[in-house]
């Protein structure tokens, strides 16, 4: 199976850019739901996999093209895994400055020193004819700072320090550095490996 063009089921500019950069070496034309004027599919699932499958299948059905969707989120130990699948909606009006402030306030209210958290990502690729999905998962563990550091990335990146890094937040890393260890980078690396297998 050869994929020459891929629709990214997202309206999130940061996410689209990150995925495009990761797939650039594979000579796949990447277009977004925004480029094709496709709808922003509502995430009604209760897991990352349900939401990614839902978005990929819906837009593959509408566009008639291969569609890649992901759902990802920040899971905080002391908050019982919240915000999880509700990470984007957790931020009032998708304003992540407010979302970060809200999250840090809730952590403070627990009076716990536990700052452990992880990012999870599930990527789903939907076939345009069969609407069957292949699913790829990625995860990165780390901890949260009590204040923002860095101006890059998006979402909760300014407060998340990955365990496998050098003490910087995701927002202090460039795109290449982040992609090597990020949840989305790991899920997409599995997708890319599958592309390489298909092309043999």
Active-site residue list: 71
| Dihedral (Cα; 31, 127, 60, 85), 10-degree rounding | -90
Cis peptide leading into residue 132 (ω within 30°): no
Contact 193, 28 (CB under 8 A): no
């Amino acid at each position: 199976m050869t994929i020459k063009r891929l629709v990214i089921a997202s309206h999130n500019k940061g996410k689209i850019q990150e995925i495009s950069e990761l797939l650039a070496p594979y000579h796949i034309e990447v277009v977004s739901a925004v480029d094709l004027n496709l709808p922003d599919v509502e995430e009604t699932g209760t897991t990352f996999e349900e939401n990614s499958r839902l978005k990929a299948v819906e837009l593959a059905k509408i566009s008639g093209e291969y569609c890649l969707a992901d759902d990802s989120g920040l899971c905080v130990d002391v908050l019982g895994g919240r915000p999880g699948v509700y990470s984007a909606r957790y931020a009032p009006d998708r304003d992540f400055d407010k979302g970060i402030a809200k999250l840090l306030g809730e952590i403070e209210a627990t009076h716990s020193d536990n700052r452990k958290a992880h990012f999870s990502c599930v990527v789903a690729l939907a076939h345009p004819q069969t609407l069957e999905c292949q699913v790829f998962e990625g995860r990165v563990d780390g901890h949260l700072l009590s204040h923002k550091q860095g101006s890059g990335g998006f979402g909760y990146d300014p407060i998340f320090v990955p365990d496998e890094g050098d003490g910087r937040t995701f927002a202090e890393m460039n795109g290449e550095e982040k992609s090597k260890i990020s949840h989305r980078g790991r899920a997409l690396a599995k997708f890319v490996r599958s592309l390489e297998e298909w092309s043999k």
